[in-house]
Amino acid sequence: MLIQIDHGCDRPVYLQIADQVKRDVALGRVAEGDRLPTVRELSSRLVINPNTIAKAYRELEHQGIIITRPGSGSYIAQGSSRLSEAVREKLIREQIDRLMVEAIHMQIDRRQLFGWIEEALAKFKFPEKGAGDGEDRG
Amino acid sequence: MLIQIDHGCDRPVYLQIADQVKRDVALGRVAEGDRLPTVRELSSRLVINPNTIAKAYRELEHQGIIITRPGSGSYIAQGSSRLSEAVREKLIREQIDRLMVEAIHMQIDRRQLFGWIEEALAKFKFPEKGAGDGEDRG
Amino acid sequence: MLIQIDHGCDRPVYLQIADQVKRDVALGRVAEGDRLPTVRELSSRLVINPNTIAKAYRELEHQGIIITRPGSGSYIAQGSSRLSEAVREKLIREQIDRLMVEAIHMQIDRRQLFGWIEEALAKFKFPEKGAGDGEDRG
Amino acid sequence: MLIQIDHGCDRPVYLQIADQVKRDVALGRVAEGDRLPTVRELSSRLVINPNTIAKAYRELEHQGIIITRPGSGSYIAQGSSRLSEAVREKLIREQIDRLMVEAIHMQIDRRQLFGWIEEALAKFKFPEKGAGDGEDRG
DNA sequence: GTGGTCTAGACCACC
DNA sequence: GTGGTCTAGACCACA
């Protein structure tokens, strides 16, 4: 699992790590039950304090993305969201709105933005509920 | 200009204010040259420390969204981003990716997400510059 | 808010703190919106590292018991459990079973245990859904 | 003796094992003098490190639940707690309080909780010593 | 070996 | 003033 930290970025390091693990799960690059790098290994690889890695893993565990077994290591959990449907819709729609606002202020036009979104929709591995819906996209 | 603060939300107050000003510009609710409420007025209306309002305005000015004329007030600036095209594309695509990651982890399916995005694309006021804008960029 | 730490106990200090805050909420000793002691104050009062207090508060926030606003402080949130009904029942019944097992191995007899449980049921402030259910108990 | 390990659970494996042995004693499924599986047998059956099993047995022996005779095996001991009466009462009452706190935060109502407790009280095999045991204690 | 807890202290963002 | 992040390092529990 490749993880990169941008120390110039204002996002906290521990969240950058959590983001990237979540991203790899979302992209299908890691599967349920896969073992994550140990705290110490990632710590020495990224030259970051072990506590910071541990904090990232704890955050992921709180979100139900991984489970961590003391003495053994951390593993990708089953994908499950504990939030109600209404709350999830609200959160995602807010995030979409923020994206629109940013794009407009950066003078991205609608067609360009739409193109990038389509690329992203194709790139990620969505959980398709029905059969035969999106197999030829990703 | 209507601004509402959610103190239960984890987003800093000064960014909530800046977000909403930017949003109103993006939605076309306010236009270039419009005057913003004074720091003092907004401060008493929202029952928020004036320093916080001032910080929000400073943030907006830094992003080029408004201009502040000492002794006169703050005004909506021309929509122009000072960032290079490459940086703007990178930032927006990162934001799109984060949206995909969150949606997947909240088990939103692709079709549902696409629907919400289409609604948002329609709702906001994009600067359409004609058809020949970014097609040869790569 | 009175909080006491037993350093001889094997339960982590940060969980002892979280337990006692939860307990005070459950007993009705603090109400929604009440402010908790600041991290620094509790830290100096209990002679415990501020990070440990902060960890307790973060745990409470993850459980939805409190909300914490940077720069302002931490406050009791609305009582809400995010777990599904089935999961909640399973967790509580497991805890009841553990109680029975311990009591039996400590040779507490059934009547004695029942008495203590009745006392506890009366002592705590349960959310009574219907009208006129348990007012004469607590 | 059936023992099952939930690796997803946060309770340490060695305590899960000890819990289940204690539970079987409390339920009357095993009686004094019964022989426990050997460390080696349980180790291979549960696919768990023998050290972990040994630790569970050590814990049980420490609590006086089992006795281990080197070269012979481990056996269920006589049910007797080495703790003083006051300490036992304190420990059990604390456990009852924790149960109340958790139930309240999970929004279980008093009647529902009482029902579950009654079921558990009936399910387990308490050592009823007659009616005149602890009436003048507290 | 693994992760968890706790301490001590620096620095930053927010109000 | 408030809490948040990160570092450094000691010690413990678990497998």
Q: How confident is the model at residue C122 (pLDDT cuts 50, 70, 90)?
A: very high
| C-alpha torsion sign, points C32, C34, C38, C44 | negative
Is 0.75 topped by the overall pTM? no
Residue of A nearest to C61 (CA): A62
Q: Give the amino acid at D109.
A: D
Strand F at less than 7 A from CB of C51: yes
Please give the Cα distance from A62 to A77 (Å, whole number): 11
Which DSSP string corresponds to chain D? ------TTSSS-HHHHHHHHHHHHHHTTSS-TTPBPPPHHHHHHHHT--HHHHHHHHHHHHHTTSEEEETTTEEEE------S-HHHHHHHHHHHHHHHHHHHHHTT--HHHHHHHHHHHHHHS------S-SSTT--
- Confidence at residue D136, expressed as pLDDT on a 0 to 100 scale: 42
Cβ burial of B89 (10 Å; 0-12, 13-18, 19+) is: middle
Of the CA atoms within 13 Å of residue D14, those in its CB half-sphere come to 16
Q: Is pLDDT of D137 > 50?
A: no
Q: Which residues contact A29 (CB under 8 A, 6 or more apart)?
A: A1
CB contact under 8 A, B12 and C67: no
- What pLDDT is attached to residue C121? 95
Quote the pLDDT of residue A49. 93
Q: For C2-60, what is each residue's pLDDT tens digit?
A: 898 888 877 889 999 998 898 888 778 888 889 999 999 999 989 999 999 999 999 89
Percent of chain A whose pLDDT exceeds 70:
88
Give yes or no for a contact between B19 and B59, defined as CB atoms under 8 angstroms apart: no
Mean of pLDDT over chain D: 82
Pairwise CB contact (< 8 Å): B104 & A123: no
Q: Does A69 touch chain D (CB under 8 A)?
A: yes
CA distance D31 to D25: 7
D115 touches strand F (CB under 7 A): no
**Minimal Cβ distance to C116: which of D23, D93, D125:** D93
* Percent of chain C scoring above 70 in pLDDT: 88
Give the pLDDT mean for B16-42: 86
Residues 72-131 of A with CB under 8 A from C: 82-83
> pLDDT tens-digit profile of B51-70?
888 888 888 888 888 888 87
Q: For D17-68, how does the pLDDT look when each residue is reduced to its tens digit (9 = 90+)?
A: 888 888 888 888 888 888 898 888 888 888 888 888 888 888 888 888 888 8
Q: What is the pLDDT confidence band of residue B84, given thresholds at 50, 70 and 90? A: confident
Residues 15-74, chain B, CB closer than 7 Å to nucleic strand E: 15, 49, 51-52, 55
In the predicted model, is pLDDT for residue A133 greater than 50? no
Q: How far is A17 from chain C (nearest CA, A)?
A: 19
Interchain touch A–B (≥3 Cβ pairs closer than 8 Å):
yes
Closest residue by Cα to residue A55 from C51, B11, C72: C51
Residue pLDDT, tens place only, A68-110 = 888 888 999 876 555 667 778 888 998 899 899 889 888 898 9
Averaged pLDDT of chain A: 84
Residue A57 Cβ < 7 Å to strand E: yes
Interface check B67 vs A, CB under 8 A:
no
pLDDT of residue D82: 61
**Nearest CA of chain B to the CA of A73: how many Å?**
22
| Interval D55-83: pLDDT, tens | 888 888 888 888 888 778 888 887 656 66
Residue C138 has pLDDT above 60, yes or no: no
Is the pair B, D in contact (3+ CB pairs within 8 Å)? no
Asked if C67 is an interface residue toward chain B (Cβ–Cβ < 8 A), one would say yes
d(C-alpha A110, C-alpha B48), whole Å: 36
Q: How confident is the model at residue A135 (pLDDT cuts 50, 70, 90)?
A: very low
| pLDDT of amino acid D129 | 65
Query: Taking all residues of chain B, what is their mean pLDDT, rounded to a whole number?
Result: 82
Tokens standing for residue D7: 């690796």
β-strands B66-69, A66-69 pairing: unpaired
Q: Which residue is nearest to nucleotide F6 (CA to C1')?
A: A52
